[in-house]
Amino acid sequence: MKLLVCISQAPDTTSRIAFTNGNTEFDSSGVQYIVNPYDEWYALVRAIELKEKHGGTVTTLTVGEAGCDPVIRKALAIGADDAIRVDVKPTDAMQVARLIADQARSGGYDIILCGKETIDHNGAVVPAMVAEMLDCGFVSNATHLDVAGSQATLKREAAGGEEVVGIECPFVLSAAKGMAEQRIPNMRGIMSARTKPLAVESAESTSATAISQFTLPPEKGACKMVDADRPEELIRLLREEAKAI
């Protein structure tokens, strides 16, 4: 089985978020990057589990510049066999999806696994776009994946319950919490990561969109305590001050 896992980097959740260039660019100075958790914890680990069970290979694919190499090597340390990095600065979803699809098209992959979203921009559309560009099936927000031959069974959360979906390979999925559990890379994995192949591909790209401004969420206001035995006051505050109801 040939598995492709799309990996992107994301700022560590404790990073201080700030913008530069007239609030049009993310200020990456001093920011620690991690593997986007949905890509790592769920998509990558499940792919490795399937490889361990059925044999095959796990390749990771990243659209990004050389600064992404540390997170790619982390993925290799966790257990991917090899990696491809498309040496282009990612600027919008369509651009990234196109670059992924171009790489994936000739690869003969059985399943393309993505995280359901990155925790920075939260666009959550790349996986679906990739599937569309490759003209193959797509399952979003999958919480479970099993494969028998060329037939896969997935579960996904639906309103008020769960759906079980069957699909024929090749297909694309976006992984959500539950598909696998985070795996700590072991020391041997870390030591072997540097000898695993990391191919750097160059490509042409254009973006369909451009960010004109970022803004931070409003500062948290002061906290008001309301006596537990005065629910009417709570309702009044919610209605008149917070205008929430």
Partner 1 sequence: MSDQNDAIRGGEFLIRPTEASDIFIPEEWTEEQLMMKQMTLDFVAQRIIPQLEQIENQQEGLVPSLMEEAGELGLVGSSVPEAYGGLGLDFKTTMLITEAIGGAHSFSVSFSAHTGIGTLPILYYGNEEQKQKWIPGLASGKLKGCYCLTEPSAGSDANSGKTKAHLTDDGKHYVINGQKMWITNGGFADVMIVFAKIDDDEDLTAFIVDGHAEGITKNPEEKKMGIKGSSTRQIFFNDVHVPAENLLYKREQGFKIAVNILNIGRIKLGGAVLGAAKDASTESIHFANEREQFGRPISKYGAIRYKLAEGAIRLYTLESALYRATQNIDDAIAALKSDGMEHGEATLKGIADFAPECAMMKVLGSEVLDFVVDEAVQIHGGMGYSAETRAELAYRDARINRIFEGTNEINRMLTVDMILKKAMKGEMDLMTPAMAVANELTGVPDFTSPSSDPFERQLSYVANMKKAILMVAGSAAQKLMMSLGKEQEILMNIADMAIWLYTIESTVLRVQKLAQQAGNTDELSIQMAIMQVYTYEASEWIHSAGKEALLSFAEGDELKMMVMGMKRFCKTEDFNTKAARQLIAQHLIEKNAYAL
User: Which residues contribute to the site for partner 1 (CB under 8 A)?
Assistant: 14, 16, 70, 73-74, 77, 182, 184-188, 190-191, 193-194
Q: For the CB of residue 188, give the shortest distance to partner 1 in the complex, in Å.
A: 6
Report how far residue 57's alpha carbon sits from residue 21's, in angstroms, rounded to the nearest whole number. 42
Q: Quote the DSSP letter at residue 110.
A: S
* 43 DSSP 8-state letter: I
Are the C-beta atoms of residues 22 and 58 closer than 8 Å to each other?
A: no
Give the containing element (helix H, strand E) for 5.
strand 2-6
**Distance (Å) of CA 156 to CA 153, 159, 167, 174:** 10, 10, 13, 10
Q: Minimum distance from CB of 14 to partner 1 (Å)?
A: 8
- Residue 162 pairs in a beta bridge with 157
- Going by C-alpha positions, the residue among 73, 134, 145, 137 that lies closest to residue 108 is 134
Shortest reach from residue 80's CB to partner 1, in Å: 14
Shortest reach from residue 228's CB to partner 1, in Å: 22
Q: Which CB atom, from 178 or from 185, has the smaller least distance to partner 1?
A: 185
Cβ nearer to partner 1, comparing 188 with 243: 188
Least distance from C-beta 13 to partner 1, angstroms?
A: 13
Peptide bond into 170 cis (omega under 30): yes
Q: Are strands 171-175 and 161-168 parallel, antiparallel or unpaired?
A: unpaired
Q: Whose Cβ is closer to partner 1: residue 33's or residue 38's?
A: 33
Q: Which residues contact 49 (CB under 8 A, 6 or more apart)?
A: 180
DSSP structure class, residue 41: I
Kindly state the smallest distance separating residue 179's Cβ from partner 1, in Å: 18
State which residue, 40 or 117, has the beta carbon closest to partner 1. 40
| Helix 126-134 and helix 93-105, axial crossing angle in degrees, nearest 10 | 40
CB nearer to partner 1: give 69 or 102.
69
CB nearer to partner 1: pick between 16 and 243:
16
